[in-house]
Structure 1
């Protein structure tokens, strides 16, 4: 009899769990750029999809078309019955905090900022850790010692990218110079690729051969500039700047690259951000030839969103406040794949892994500002 009752209780529990999962809804309010931005928004969407595929339920989304619309869909997602509402990007934080206060039975999350309220969580990242690794790689690989950083907006989260990148460059190459520029003075700076391309062009004119952009969709402007100017020529370098290395001489080039970069020239590179953008530097659609995406700093928004969606969907105890993601817990990474593996020799890769371990272990203290 006891065994039968126990079996019934297990069955009831399973049925209740299935019913809860089936009725669970997560609402995603994106930032500018939408779900298919190949960056921040897309990472959040992919993480939510992965969690829902495991626990059951559905996803509702809101995509703003203009800066003024950012955050306006959060209240609507809550009213539609979303159990968990995720605002992607700091621009959604005010709306998340306000809506959470009037919907105490639901849970709310801001990606990249810390909202207020006992039913809220902030998913934040130690971007400076991954940016340090990217900076170290750029410092080792630059042919001119001139490196660039383009931020979408001069705010703390973007300055964590900048601080870590600058520190990594200096750790690898004390003599290297990092030029910094911001796309705009409001959040439109994350959605203005034309201006980012102009900034990148100006940096290249000053001898910068590797540029890292933490600027959302504006970063595509940098990629377009690298595509338009895949190399720097010795004759075009400004006074006081010269080539000091030729690290990629043995990497096969496409016919187009060979023609555009004939003579005394060195390739230019972008460093991607948020998702793996290495493949966007494969301009000739052949991974075997030189790629112009040196690497990408992966901000694993997908892992962070996956973890919080699964936690709420499974009914685990709620823990409000800050959640921090970095190199040590799968929140930050550096992308090495078929597109850029030829750009990073095996010995350099091993040194990079050593640097990463030193950062994780605390031997190297990476500045956040």
Structure 2
């Protein structure tokens, strides 16, 4: 039988073991709390972005930028007050940038599109401690304070691809192009598109039209629809729109023409920047995607990781910066042989066997 003294000693032994175990775990827990506090940033960076005209719901250039921005907010430790704004006019663009650099005190300021980005050189020089991102314009020559990262795309290569696709799908031998604002950047799309179409069919005719010469051209679907209807009624059966929110008018016109067609002739359109195939899947045969979302996301990622460089980067076919969109919405439009031909053209561009004309480098005298 166990004596009272033996039982008492056993209790003391067990209590000592449990106390030591608890103290060790409390110590480990305290250490883990200290470690977690060290890894949690004290001051999260504030990221602010100014969109181009047309708004965040243009299903195109701006929307792609917003997607990249929102994904970055979810994935990275940035200030919850980080935000993007939608300017309605030029004066608002100036006000937003001034506010972001001063009272709002943003650490990284992003300009989406060449119009907002044109404000960055002066701003960057005035506020050298800030970092800036310009999307869709090369700022190498204007980066005096060495605090601007600029990103452009090889949109002429992607446009060559969808031009080839337009020629493949056209039965009339006439295709069209409708741009938003008549500026060199959009001319670059047009030049690549026309060259791609003529690569497939040297006799094809390419009609062109522009919504306007001011920034409002990006947000005028009614005008774009009018231009598209005019081209379709003249025999065009495929139109590539590069017009931001105005491009919705091109899609509407193709849909209207198909409903009115008594000869069962098909009228098609091609989207731009974002994958727009889903918007009107019976009309849009493909989209020339331009990964603005990746440009924004990767830049924010670099900034948070202290890897942000103030240089110029070009996105193209090789890195998926531009491409043609093929998915469940438009696969019905293509045969296996056509897909093979499209991918062959893409490969030839990437390997240099096809040289796509670049409007920026053409002799325009």
State whether structure 2 residue 327 is matched by structure 1 residue 304.
no
Corresponding residue for residue 4 of structure 2? none
Corresponding residue for residue 136 of structure 2? 112
- Local SS of the residue matching 1:265: coil
Corresponding residue for residue 103 of structure 1? 127
2:221 and 2:245 in contact (8 A); partners too = yes
Corresponding residue for residue 343 of structure 2? 353
Corresponding residue for residue 160 of structure 1? 188
Cα gap change, 1:111/1:12 in structure 2, threshold over 3 Å: closer, same or farther? farther
- Higher mean C-alpha displacement, 41-50 vs 124-133: 41-50
Corresponding residue for residue 18 of structure 1? 40
1:52 and 1:310 in contact (8 A); partners too = no
1:33 and 1:191 in contact (8 A); partners too = yes
Task: Measure how far apart 1:213 and its partner are.
Answer: 0.9
Corresponding residue for residue 287 of structure 1? none
Task: Measure how far apart 1:67 and its partner are.
Answer: 4.4
CA distance in 2, matches of 1:25, 1:196: 38
Deviations 1:4-24 (A, max 9, x none): xxxxxx99897555316x612
Corresponding residue for residue 286 of structure 1? none
State whether structure 2 residue 114 is matched by structure 1 residue 90.
yes
Corresponding residue for residue 337 of structure 1? 327
Matched pairs, number: 323
1:300 and 1:332 in contact (8 A); partners too = yes
Task: Measure how far apart 1:199 and its partner are.
Answer: 0.6
State whether structure 2 residue 169 is matched by structure 1 residue 149.
no
Corresponding residue for residue 96 of structure 2? 73
State whether structure 2 residue 76 is matched by structure 1 residue 55.
yes
1:139 and 1:169 in contact (8 A); partners too = yes
CA distance in 2, matches of 1:327, 1:17: 38
1:149 and 1:213 in contact (8 A); partners too = yes
- Local SS of the residue matching 2:166: helix
1:60 and 1:77 in contact (8 A); partners too = no
Task: Measure how far apart 1:65 and its partner are.
Answer: 2.0
Task: Measure how far apart 1:138 and its partner are.
Answer: 0.5
2:183 and 2:213 in contact (8 A); partners too = no
CA distance in 2, matches of 1:304, 1:332: 11
State whether structure 2 residue 234 is matched by structure 1 residue 210.
no
Q: CA RMSD for the aligned pairs?
A: 2.1
CA distance in 2, matches of 1:16, 1:171: 59
Corresponding residue for residue 253 of structure 1? none
**130, 139, 143: which one aligns with 2:158:** 130
Task: Measure how far apart 1:70 and its partner are.
Answer: 3.1
Report the TM-score, using the length of structure 1 for normalisation. Answer: 0.83
**251, 257, 263: which one aligns with 1:223:** 251
- Local SS of the residue matching 2:151: strand
CA distance in 1, matches of 2:199, 2:37: 56
2:238 and 2:269 in contact (8 A); partners too = yes
2:221 and 2:247 in contact (8 A); partners too = yes
Q: Which sections of structure 1, spanning at least 5 residues, go unmatched? A: 1-9, 231-256, 283-290
Corresponding residue for residue 7 of structure 2? none
1:109 and 1:122 in contact (8 A); partners too = yes
- Higher mean C-alpha displacement, 181-190 vs 142-151: 181-190
Corresponding residue for residue 42 of structure 1? 63
- Local SS of the residue matching 1:149: strand
**317, 338, 345: which one aligns with 1:327:** 317
The structure that has the greater radius of gyration is: 2
CA distance in 1, matches of 2:158, 2:76: 31
Cα gap change, 1:261/1:48 in structure 2, threshold over 3 Å: closer, same or farther? same
Cα gap change, 1:70/1:223 in structure 2, threshold over 3 Å: closer, same or farther? farther
Spell out the pairing of 1:281-292 with structure 2 (5 A cutoff): 281-282=280-281, 291-292=282-283
